[in-house]
Amino acid sequence: MSVGRHKNITLLTYAEVEDVSGVVGDFKVIVRKKARYVNEELCNGCGTCVEKCPWKKIPDEFELGLGYRTAIHFQYPQAVPKIPRIDAENCVYFKNGKCKACEKFCLRGAIDFEQQDEFVEFEVGTIILATGFKNFNPEKTPKYGYKKLENVLTGLEFERMVNSGGPTTGRVRLADGSIPGKIAIIHCVGSRGDHNEYCSRVCCMYSLKLAHLAKELIGADIIEYYRDMRTFGKDYENFYERVREEDIAFVRYEDIRVSEDQEGLVVTTTDLYNGDIISNHVDMVILSTGMEPQEDQQKIASTFGISLSPDGFFLEKHPKLAPVETATDGVFLAGTCQGPKDIPDTVAQGGAAAASALSLMDYGRVVLEPFTASIDPEKCSGCLICVDTCPFGAIDTTIHNGRTISQVNEIICKGCGTCVAACPSGAASQLGFTNHQIFSEIDGILRQSSLMELTI
C-alpha cells in the first residue's frame, strides 16, 4: 500500500518488460502496459462495475478455480493499485459487441473499450528482478491422483479454503459439502526427485501449518507423510515440536500412491522405518507442492542478459559471496526467482538487493572488471568478424586513418575473450589474458623435463 503512494516509486501492474538495452547506470527499459480497458486516472476503485457485471461464472485464477469472478474484476481483494481490468477473453462485449453494463454504471466514466497496449520507456540505473515462482502442478505425477480423484487438493488450494476471505469463507469442506474426518498431507510433491532434484524448502513448514490449522478448525485426524522433516529456520523447530504434541500422526514414507475404493481415498505407502506397507483410508489428501521456475523464466533471462542455473532458476553471481548479484552488472535478484526460499529469506534478499542497488547508484561511479578486450587499430583489418562474435554487442565500428575498423566499448565488454580467439589478424587482445601471457604459461608448464618437478 505504501509503495503505491510513495512519490519516488512508479508502480506498474499488468505490464511486461519488452526490451532492455544499455549498461549499468544507463539502462533503457521498454515496458508494455497491457490494455486493461479502464482509465487508471479516472478510476477510484469503487467496485461498482464489478458488482454490475452480468458475466459472473468465470473461474477465479486467484482462488485457483475454487471460486468465481466477473469479467471485469480486481485481481484479488487487496490489489494495489485498486483498479479493475476487463478480461477481454471472457467479456461479452468483446465477443458480440453488446452489454457495456460497466460503462453504464461507472460514475466517473473510466471504462474505455478502445484502450490499446501502451509502450513506456524508462531510463534506469539498476534493475531488481523479483519474478517469483510457479507452483508445481501435481498432474505431472499421476500417482497422486490430482484432478483424477475428488478431494485431492494442493496445499495452496487448501490454503484458500481455510482463508476467511476465500471461496468457502474459511470452512473446510469436501466436494460433497461434508466435513472431512481424516486428512492426509503428503510432503515433497514436485521436490527431491519428483521431477525436480532440489528441496523446495517451504513445504515442510507450510504442511505443519496446514495440519495445525485443520486440527484447530475441524479437529480432523491428520497424518503427515514426510520424507525428511526440514525445519531449518529460526523458531521453526519449536513449531514442529508444538504440532507434534497436537495428536498428529507422522509417517516417514519411501514411496506413496493415492488411489480410491468404495470407502473413499486410500493412501498406500512403505514405512521407511520398518518396511511395512501401510494403507490408510482418508477423506481428503493435501499435496505439499514445491516451487518451480516461472514458465517464461528463460525469456526473462535473455531479456535481461542473465543466465539460468541447472534447476531453471536465475543464476546468481556467486552462490555464497554474491547471492543477490548476477553476471550482468546492475541487475539484482530477490526472492524465489533465484531459488526456492521462505518468507524471511525472501524479505532478507529483497532488502539486500535494494541495498546493493542503492550503494551502486549512490557511489556515482561504476567500477569495472579490468579484463576487458581491446583492438589494436593498426593491426585491425576491418573484417568485423568480432562484431558478430561478441555476445554483448560491445564492439562498434570506427574510422581510423580512412579505414573502417572495430573498436571495443570497454564499459559493455565483460571480458570473455571470444573476440580475441576469433580475430584472424591478431589485433584483438585481452588484458590479463593476452596470447603472450597464455603462451608463456603453456611454455612454462611444458618445458619442465618432467611434470613431477612441478608437483610439490
Partner 1 sequence: MFEPKIIAFLCTWCSYTGADLAGTTRLKSPWNIRAIRTPCSGRVSPELIIRAFDEGADGVLVLGCHIGECHFDTGNHRTAKRIPILKELLSFVGLEPERLRLDWVSASEGERFAHITNDFTETIRQLGPCQWQQKPSWRQTRPELAVITELEAAE
In the complex, the residues that contact partner 1 under the rule CB under 8 A are: 305, 307-310, 315, 327, 371, 389, 391-392, 414-418, 420-422, 429-430, 432-436, 438-439, 441-443, 445-447, 451-452, 454-455
**At closest approach, how far in Å is the CB of 429 from partner 1?**
8
Decide whether 9 or 451 has the Cβ nearer to partner 1: 451
**At closest approach, how far in Å is the CB of 41 from partner 1?**
40
Beta carbons of 136 and 312 less than 8 angstroms apart: no
One-letter amino acid at 115 equals Q
What burial class does residue 57 get, using C-beta atoms within 10 Å of its C-beta: 0-12 exposed, 13-18 middle, 19+ buried? exposed
Beta carbons of 17 and 303 less than 8 angstroms apart: yes
Q: How far apart are CA 386 and CA 22, in angstroms?
A: 19
Residue among 119, 133, 45 nearest 336 (CA): 133
Decide whether 66 or 431 has the Cβ nearer to partner 1: 431
DSSP state of 124: E
Give the up-direction half-sphere exposure of residue 250: CA atoms within 13 A in the CB hemisphere.
15
Decide whether 289 or 429 has the Cβ nearer to partner 1: 429
Decide whether 1 or 442 has the Cβ nearer to partner 1: 442
| CB contact set of 256 (below 8 Å; sequence gap of 6+) | 143, 144, 186, 225, 267, 268, 269
Decide whether 59 or 424 has the Cβ nearer to partner 1: 424
Decide whether 129 or 214 has the Cβ nearer to partner 1: 129
**At closest approach, how far in Å is the CB of 295 from partner 1?**
17
Beta carbons of 422 and 389 less than 8 angstroms apart: yes
Helices (H), 291-427: 297-304, 343-363, 385-389, 418-422
Q: How far apart are CA 45 and CA 59, in angstroms?
A: 22
Question: How far is residue 326 from each of residues 141, 251, 334, measured CA to CA in Å?
Answer: 33, 41, 11
**At closest approach, how far in Å is the CB of 325 from partner 1?**
13
Decide whether 141 or 309 has the Cβ nearer to partner 1: 309
Decide whether 54 or 424 has the Cβ nearer to partner 1: 424
What are φ and ψ of residue 431, in 5° steps?
A: -60, 130
Q: Which residues pair with 277 in a beta bridge?
A: 270
What are φ and ψ of residue 271, in 5° steps?
A: -70, 125
**At closest approach, how far in Å is the CB of 448 from partner 1?**
9
Q: How far apart are CA 215 and CA 213, in angstroms?
A: 5
One-letter amino acid at 52 equals K
Under DSSP, is residue 78 helix (H, G, I), strand (E, B) or coil? coil
Dihedral angle of Cα 236, 355, 134, 326, to the nearest 10 degrees = -120
**At closest approach, how far in Å is the CB of 195 from partner 1?**
19
**At closest approach, how far in Å is the CB of 333 from partner 1?**
15
